[in-house]
Chain A
Amino acid sequence: MSDARRHNLTVTATFPQTGVRGPSPQGLAIKVEDLRKSYGSLVAVDGISFNVRENEIFGILGPNGAGKTTTVEILEGLRDADEGHVTVAGVDVRRYPKRVKGLIGVQLQSSAFFDNLTLLELTDMFAAIYGRRINARELLGKVDLHDKEHSKVRQLSGGQKQRFSIATALVNDPRVLFLDEPTTGLDPQARRNLWELAQALRQEGRTVLLTTHYMEEAETLCDRVAIMDGGKIITLDTPANLVQRLLDKGFRGRRVEREANLEDVFIDLTGKDLRED
């Protein structure tokens, strides 16, 4: 039990180097206008527009092939769009991709790191790339990997890998954080642990944009979500409003929702402690 509490405590500890930031003049962390991207005849992103407010957790949902990852990669400066305007952290991404990369933190869907290097060495390497001097130990401690600092990435569990991936995304103390399917493949304990981390990061004043296939995750974490399909945003609102609108249309779930679900049973029986050591 003490383990679980430690996790909760460590993830809510704040960054020593994080200054308190007020919202930017417009109050927008991300501004997307009429974004388009095609691969040959395949239209991946078909003219989408949306804004992400400062300090919110914004979710992009959608089935595989909906255009989520392409959208996120354009916002991260990894890919250029065919048309449209994208501003991230106040910088025009299409004109200054490198400058944006310096301001944001990125966790990719399948993040891999050099083999044969320890977490400390990798963290220091990332810091050097950003020209930052950080306390790598402290950063690893923040994502609860203090006892793994001399381990190699391949020795980590799935949840630890994702937390390390987030640690490398934090070396530059970014204003905007991108998490691409951060909990895919994780067990319920590790998933909850990552949610706490995401919430703690928002507490520090960061904006988080995440993609996910898990609706429960979106409902728990996200202030607002956009649902994409076929390269378009088909709806965008708070999870509560989206559910309410569906209910207003007269929708009734096949099964009446009970006070608890199977996941609650699972967590109740197995506890919240992480199982990865």
Chain B
Amino acid sequence: MSRSFRALLSTSLKAYYRNRSAMFFSLLVPLIIMVIFGLLNLGGNHTSENIGVVDLAHNPSSQLIIDNLKKESVLQVDFGSQAAETNALKKGDRALVVVLPAELGAIQTCAPRAVGCHPGPKPVSIPIYTNKAKPQDAQIATAIVTQFFAQSSFVALGQPGGVFKPVVQVLPGQNTTYTDFLVPGIIALSIMQTGIFSVAFAFVQQKQTGVLRRLMATPMKVSEFLAAQVTTRLIMAAVQVAILLFVGVVFFGFHLAGNVVELMLACIFGSAIFIAIGFGISGYAKDEQAVPAIANILVLPMMFLSGIFFTRDSMPAWLHTVSDYLPLTYVVDAIRSVAVNGSHLWNLGTDVIGIAVWLVITVAIAIRLFRWEVV
């Protein structure tokens, strides 16, 4: 790092740090939004355990078990195919999934003098799947369900543990509470807001007041100046992410599953897209008044269509498809996958490609639109 770059970076950081309104919007506002939505807790609380039942037997025995399971007041029972239910489990929508195997209810006969064989209902293993990320729910539901099968065995055979043998298998998955959905959303939202607004406002102002002109009258390296400005915003984005993560984990019980370094990388590349958009706006906007208008045309649709506060599941199909391609969608999806699912960046094909493509597009537009002078 050259001395001039260090000087430009440190002055730019100091100026940003001392700018009260910039600090307010980049640090306090995201926290306020997080607290408000966190308190609203749009995901809701649950008083019963949600379990999934996969019925492969479809016979009177399985029907009897299902009817009895439904009578358990603390269980909320859903039915589905094995694939659908496993998926729901991994997303954190089920405390556990019970599979009723095809041979359930079969009668066995025993060879004479066979050891350990009792004529009557054939013993079957009952696979039970739980979600590793939801240990408390899994524990409660497993206790209820094993107890249930022990009783059923007793009823069917007159001795516990004979017929139904629950086999618990823990699957990797996620525990998506609303907070887990919200925190990555707020992180993505704030790096978008900071990237776009802090660059667009600052550069339109510096252009209008003549700050840039004064600098252009020195032998300053333009690349160093821009690098210092971008680095300042990237550092601010990283600070934002760290603070939001900290508050999310400590005060809202956010389940941070992923690697923090990879999460930061996703945030920094995402931030770079929005910084480039900010440079583009600063070149296009005639004056400071034009900045919020232009910026909000881009920011507001993304804020509501990219799945920041709510999932995009309830969107009409065409809108869902459109929103798939928004830069903020790629960024928030990447952040969620890393932070909540513990995915690695190199496994996030679409999101990483989406971020890279948008970065190239926005930087190209920024280079085209950016101006040093008021035209």
Contact = CB atoms under 8 A, between A and B. Distances in A.
Interface string B8-26: 1001101100110000000
Contacts of A116: 14-15, 18-19
A125 B11 contact: yes
A108 B213 contact: yes
A112 B15 contact: no
Interface string A76-98: 11100000000000000000001
Nearest to B5: A128
A116 B11 CA distance: 9
A15 interface: no
B210 interface: yes
B3 A131 contact: yes
Given A78-B213, A129-B8, A115 B218 contact: no
B3 to A, nearest CB: 5
Interface residues of A, number: 27
Contacts of B11: 114, 117, 121-122, 125
Interface of B: 3-4, 6-8, 11-12, 14-15, 18-19, 206, 209-211, 213-220
Given A116-B18, A117-B14, A121-B11, A110 B219 contact: no
A114 B217 contact: no
A101 interface: yes
Contact of A112 (B18, B210, B220): B210
Contact of A111 (B3, B4, B15, B210): B210
Given A78-B217, A106-B217, A130-B218, A115 B3 contact: no
Contacts of A106: 214, 217-218
A126 B210 contact: no
Nearest to B8: A125
Contacts of A65: none
A116 B19 CA distance: 7
A182 to B, nearest CB: 14
21 contacts: A76-B217, A78-B217, A98-B219, A101-B217, A101-B219, A106-B214, A108-B210, A108-B217, A112-B209, A112-B211, A116-B14, A116-B15, A117-B15, A117-B18, A121-B11, A125-B7, A125-B8, A125-B11, A128-B7, A129-B7, A129-B220
A166 to B, nearest CB: 12
Main secondary structure of the interface of B (DSSP, over half): helix
A128 B214 contact: no
Interface of A: 76-78, 98-99, 101-102, 106, 108, 110-117, 121-122, 124-126, 128-131, 168
Contacts, number: 70
A126 B7 CA distance: 9
Given A78-B213, A108-B213, A128-B7, A121 B14 contact: yes
B276 to A, nearest CB: 22
A11 to B, nearest CB: 23
B17 to A, nearest CB: 8
A131 B213 CA distance: 19
A116 B14 CA distance: 8
A174 to B, nearest CB: 11
Contact of A129 (B12, B19, B219): B219
A22 B123 CA distance: 109
- The 4 A-B residue pairs with the shortest CB-CB distance in the complex, in nearest-first order: A128-B7, A112-B209, A116-B18, A102-B219
Nearest to A98: B219
Which of B8, B18, B217 has the most chain A CB atoms inside 10 A of its CB?
A: B217
Given A78-B213, A108-B210, A128 B6 contact: yes
B258 to A, nearest CB: 36
Contacts of B6: 128
B210 A101 contact: no
Contacts of B216: 78
